[in-house]
Structure 1
């Protein structure tokens, strides 16, 4: 568990640790206009490859797959730390993302291999805690290294932790290997499906990353990327149904009501969590004048709420063997929390904000690992790897979409409100809201700016209310399935 949690920690923290280091990286490498790709390249490969590791670990074995992912991740991080130009750094971040995708999925898969379903929620809850902790301390550690040591240590710090993880996995992780020669295993790989899936996801993710930021949403490049991406995904689905002998994502999984509901709700969960993690610090910075470190600390109630929800859900499942009720309660609490966040204004006290974040954190936490247990209980134990990898994928893609959706809402609301305030340089403010302090505007204009920003951020959370409501309605459709107490499929018992 220690080794697997460390592996997940590395992958999760690498998603956020560079956020506070990007300006310094861009300045030192002389490529400030390209620094967003340092974050985007990691997110691109991590998201696109999530579904693949489940099937690959079935073919080649859990231990070889997780060791491959860890080594690729560490090599990518080492190259990132030594990079002398922005292109090397971007490529190396993409390489690290290839490994990071495996570390997230395979850690959950391995735990699912060695722990029976009726006790699995407690163990899987540890990874929810790792996600919550890494999401908060990532930007804090990144800022500290950048300010006091060097931005290169944002990447180098992964090497000693990764080395410990590697040794723990090599010496302590014992899982039976699939039989057969390497040639037989290579023949099992669905190459056509792999190419179509990765290519389709890359086109869709590039459209999401660029849309509304580098190019307008109605730009022909964005529209073309969406069209090509969706066309490739449709071809992938057809190939999985009619061509592949051992498909990467068996379409038969989606016949299970519980699995389909968990995938949709997993995307909503990722969207909500990422929206809060990325945009609440902006609220703290603009409304309260906090530094990045202070904003990160004030986000702790949300993470503590998630950890509390994950723990409570795991204990309930372990005691009763029931899951559906946890998702129902969590969805209701999350809906209430989203509604409270829409009431944020310049006069909201920090006590109220802490309360709001705790409420929605608990709601999302109750859902976090519970939906995975429900999905796993529906399929056979032999299908656990692909079920887990796909749920992680929908969670990550939901988070990616969430950032794009929230960014579009924020920009639209801000553009409408800031255009009426005299003396503002909207171009500079789009890059950094703190630039308001250097514009020499009147106190009244500064107050109007703060009100506009806070209103825009509170507006971000309005879509979360119906989303969490839909999540609750979908969860009512869950079918109760008794949790297995051993690691064998029913048909083998």
Structure 2
């Protein structure tokens, strides 16, 4: 059935928006808030060798569940599934705060990640349902502000709660915020509902989960837990590739695939999705290491290192606001991913020039350049993806974009962590105690440890850290450059909801003709 959906008034959208942004804040904040609490967690629960799994379990489950939420939302309605995701996240948060062992914490973090997978993609898909692309730019500033707040406040809040209360409050703090988000969304969100028959693509979902898990484990364990040429890593790589091949075959045969491959026939959809993967790979993988450089080489405190990220996030927020306004007023967007790719490449390359003599001001300038690239790309790629599909595929398209960025970030963090650890180990070879210092990619390097070293040894370690950072950002540069190149493949397609169009009709065809679309589910 083909219908025309009138976009809700701005006031109606603003009523729903607080609940949606609170849910997004929950998911993003929890990726940042736990880091500063981890030393206390390990001190109380033990299990230092399982430390990385506290983070990996959350990221992995949120990543592999993202496309499932998108598809199920398309099939069964987004509101019900979104409320369920918030509930699962809250249960996982409560159980994580009550964990009595590292194994329990890892399991509960996985449950928490399962809920988180539906939060961000749910927000994006719901906004895609409520607001036509032409008008969506004005609301992207709110999303960017939420992302910036989570990135900046997460480490600060985690450290404050751990120091003044307990590490368990890093999880308990989610509960009142989540309950408020649950209440707001339940009472204010109204979406069209449709009753149709469905067939769930269980085989495709299972193969996608196996593929993502295997490939993330390759980048997580490779060069750290096991050698890159070990049976374990090679076996996981073969399993991952085989699962990808099986997934493609399964999706071609599925009646209702979890990820319709037909979406990739659209050049803009494919290019924007691939850009999202590369942006996540280069940006999230690289930015993870900035606080370590600030706290060790530049001598900043944990709290101050969070504040030192402010120039990057402020630049990203301001640029995103400007870009959203320009897109809303003009309907033109093609130049932004190209410019974003260029600035991202320039920023990452500039950060590769850091050494022990780099001042905080110089680093801030480098981060501003990177932030500008982030602001030009983060929301625009999602907008392009959503504008490239019919309304009935809005959820799965949004989840695919989020999945690509998340899995890219997971690969980036893992791969660059292995590069950093390898470079650090090589640089410290022969130094007494180097094995302990370099273990786990710098997991044992902190300001307190460095202050106890003799001056000459301390200088050697700081130089090694700077060299490791140089390698990380230098490796990130080609991925950022690839995003810039792919940006040129995006073609200008009229945004839906512009002059002469009513509501979120289907995407424009090759020559700009609107294609009818089913109403959102």
Deviation at 1:260, TM superposition (A): 0.9
2:371 aligned with 1:354, yes or no? no
5 Å matches for 1:41-440? 41-180=57-196, 184-185=197-198, 188-242=199-253, 244-420=254-430, 422-430=431-439, 431-434=443-446, 437=449
2:491 aligned with 1:479, yes or no? yes
Q: Which residue of 1 aligns with 2:6?
A: none
Q: Assess, with a 3 A threshold, how the Cα gap between structure 1 residues 339 and 30 changes in structure 2: closer, same or farther.
A: closer
State the Cα deviation string for residues 67-109 of structure 1 (Å, max 9, x = none).
Answer: 1101111111111111222222211111111110000101000
State the Cα deviation string for residues 340-380 of structure 1 (Å, max 9, x = none).
Answer: 11211111221111111011111121111111111222222
Q: Assess, with a 3 A threshold, how the Cα gap between structure 1 residues 323 and 448 changes in structure 2: closer, same or farther.
A: same
Could you tell me how far apart the structure 1 residues matched to 2:267 and 2:396 are? 16
Q: Assess, with a 3 A threshold, how the Cα gap between structure 1 residues 59 and 429 changes in structure 2: closer, same or farther.
A: same
Could you tell me how far apart the structure 2 residues matched to 1:136 and 1:241 are? 43
Could you tell me how far apart the structure 2 residues matched to 1:438 and 1:410 are? 18
Normalising by structure 1, report the TM-score: 0.95
Could you tell me how far apart the structure 2 residues matched to 1:296 and 1:66 are? 31
Deviation at 1:435, TM superposition (A): 7.0
Deviation at 1:384, TM superposition (A): 1.6
Could you tell me how far apart the structure 2 residues matched to 1:132 and 1:277 are? 13
Higher mean C-alpha deviation, range 117-126 or range 386-395: 117-126
Q: Which residue of 2 aligns with 1:492?
A: 516
State the Cα deviation string for residues 14-70 of structure 1 (Å, max 9, x = none).
Answer: 112111111211221232322322211111100111111111001110111101101
The answer to whether the 8 A contact 2:286-2:416 is kept is: no
**SS of residue matched to 1:492:** coil
State the Cα deviation string for residues 378-436 of structure 1 (Å, max 9, x = none).
Answer: 2222222111100100000110111122112212222222115x434322343322378
The answer to whether the 8 A contact 1:125-1:369 is kept is: no
Could you tell me how far apart the structure 2 residues matched to 1:399 and 1:164 are? 29
**SS of residue matched to 2:187:** helix
Deviation at 1:459, TM superposition (A): 2.3
**SS of residue matched to 2:446:** helix
Could you tell me how far apart the structure 1 residues matched to 2:460 and 2:42 are? 31
Could you tell me how far apart the structure 1 residues matched to 2:152 and 2:375 are? 15
Q: Assess, with a 3 A threshold, how the Cα gap between structure 1 residues 458 and 240 changes in structure 2: closer, same or farther.
A: same
Q: Assess, with a 3 A threshold, how the Cα gap between structure 1 residues 250 and 112 changes in structure 2: closer, same or farther.
A: same
Could you tell me how far apart the structure 2 residues matched to 1:256 and 1:391 are? 14
Could you tell me how far apart the structure 2 residues matched to 1:333 and 1:385 are? 30
State the Cα deviation string for residues 248-290 of structure 1 (Å, max 9, x = none).
Answer: 1001111111111111110111123213431011111121122
The answer to whether the 8 A contact 1:309-1:366 is kept is: yes
Where structure 2 has 5 or more consecutive residues not aligned to the other structure, the ranges are 1-16, 498-502, 507-513
The answer to whether the 8 A contact 2:89-2:111 is kept is: yes
**SS of residue matched to 2:297:** helix
Could you tell me how far apart the structure 2 residues matched to 1:466 and 1:25 are? 36
Higher mean C-alpha deviation, range 120-129 or range 11-20: 120-129
Could you tell me how far apart the structure 1 residues matched to 2:28 and 2:233 are? 28
Deviation at 1:439, TM superposition (A): 8.5
Q: Assess, with a 3 A threshold, how the Cα gap between structure 1 residues 89 and 439 changes in structure 2: closer, same or farther.
A: same
Could you tell me how far apart the structure 2 residues matched to 1:79 and 1:289 are? 36
**SS of residue matched to 1:318:** helix
The answer to whether the 8 A contact 1:135-1:277 is kept is: no
Could you tell me how far apart the structure 2 residues matched to 1:69 and 1:437 are? 41
Deviation at 1:458, TM superposition (A): 2.1
Could you tell me how far apart the structure 1 residues matched to 2:346 and 2:434 are? 37
The answer to whether the 8 A contact 2:218-2:237 is kept is: yes
State the Cα deviation string for residues 319-352 of structure 1 (Å, max 9, x = none).
Answer: 1101111111122222221221121111122111
RMSD: 1.7
State the Cα deviation string for residues 230-258 of structure 1 (Å, max 9, x = none).
Answer: 2112111101102x101110011111111
Could you tell me how far apart the structure 2 residues matched to 1:136 and 1:238 are? 42
Greater length-normalized contact order (CA 8 Å, ≥ 6 residues apart)? 2
Q: Assess, with a 3 A threshold, how the Cα gap between structure 1 residues 8 and 439 changes in structure 2: closer, same or farther.
A: closer
Could you tell me how far apart the structure 1 residues matched to 2:248 and 2:423 are? 38
Could you tell me how far apart the structure 1 residues matched to 2:489 and 2:348 are? 22
Normalising by structure 2, report the TM-score: 0.90
Q: Alignment length, in residue pairs?
A: 486
Q: Assess, with a 3 A threshold, how the Cα gap between structure 1 residues 324 and 202 changes in structure 2: closer, same or farther.
A: same
